[in-house]
Structure 1
């Protein structure tokens, strides 16, 4: 998996990265513009714009609507964020990670790929305040969180979990 390096914090680095505008917007709405969290390094897992744009229009509309609420946006981002920087070497097969909202995510390695639940990690961006992993789809655990938040109808979750989308 390629690792890019940025001399910026997560959000500014994401804003400059092709295919991460949807995740960047969610982070801005959550009030994380200009910094992630003071005094630490974090790991953020985000689906690419390509993956999110391949979802249903109903899901995209529900996400836009829900993410306009700062409290919901922060909860959403916390479901993608781990309270320490986890490097690619530390993403070992079977490792369990826990997001800031307590959700468990399982790492697996197979055929040269690193996966988070059922999503493949396409690349990493190392920043001043941590690392951002770009995924080919929404992992099943995060999809479940989105469903509970009213962002993803169950039929959409089933569709997403059976398809993977690569960056262009």
Structure 2
């Protein structure tokens, strides 16, 4: 008699346990997903991307995988803390607009230290140099080549004509020389801009008068 009484009770408890497990599985499965999150499924991997992660901009790249330039040469120089005198000189000479407009230029950009050395050489102050627009309109174009020349494409040992009409030459050691006896080392290369490329140099080139 005891066995007959316990059997239905055991069956009922087992059924209740199965029902509880089923309800728990359903609750876990039916939990609504956060509508603000994005779920990415790749094979067996599941990644949940929050809105903050999704909103982060990716750098622009061209089909070859290289970063796309977003600033002009003028904007790039203005944002570089080592090219403040060059930026001021371009503005004083009225050449800053040209460096922001569309075109194809290669600029050999002297650093502030390079300008400091030439101030001593010329025995002038920075203010006096910036006021001498005739000199700046001769010197600054001497640092510009009217085409885009990346570091890998520099024609070593060949005369390269600059915007002011005179030529410079670059050795395979990345040293610029000219007929006036100027020398400058190229210390930074391939700063790409929307209108050309900038190579940083450690001296100001003074063309023939």
* 8 A Cα contact 1:10 1:35, kept in partner: no
* Unaligned 5+ runs, structure 1: 149-168
Q: Does 2:200 align with 1:134? A: yes
Q: Residues 49, 38 of structure 1: CA spacing in aligned structure 2 closer, same or farther, 3 A cutoff?
A: closer
2:74 match: secondary structure: helix
Pick from 188, 193, 203 the counterpart of residue 123 of structure 1: 188
Q: CA deviation at 1:57?
A: 3.8
Give the alignment partner of residue 114 of structure 2, picking from 51, 63, 78.
51
Distance 1:63 1:80 in 2: 19
How many residues were matched structurally?
A: 137
Tell me which stretches of 4 or more aligned residues in structure 1 moved more than 3 Å: 54-58, 69-72
Note the aligned Cα RMSD (angstroms).
2.6
Label 1:65 to 1:57 Cα distance change in 2 as closer, same or farther (>3 A).
same
Q: 1:94 to 1:18 in 2, by over 3 A?
A: same
SS state of the match for residue 79, structure 1?
helix
Structure with the larger RCO, 1 or 2 (CA within 8 Å, 6+ apart) = 1
Deviation, 1:53, is 2.0
Q: Take 1:51 and 1:15, find their aligned partners in 2: how far apart are those partners? A: 17
Aligned to 1:29: 92
Q: Which runs of 5+ in 2 are unaligned?
A: 1-66, 178-182
SS in 2 for 1:132: strand
How far off its partner does 1:79 sit? 1.5
What is the CA distance between 1:18 and its match in structure 2?
2.5
TM-score (normalizing by structure 1): 0.69
**Partner in structure 1 of residue 157 of structure 2:** 94
TM-score of the two chains, using structure 2 as the length reference: 0.56
The offset of 1:27, in angstroms, is 0.7
Aligned-partner SS, 2:156: coil
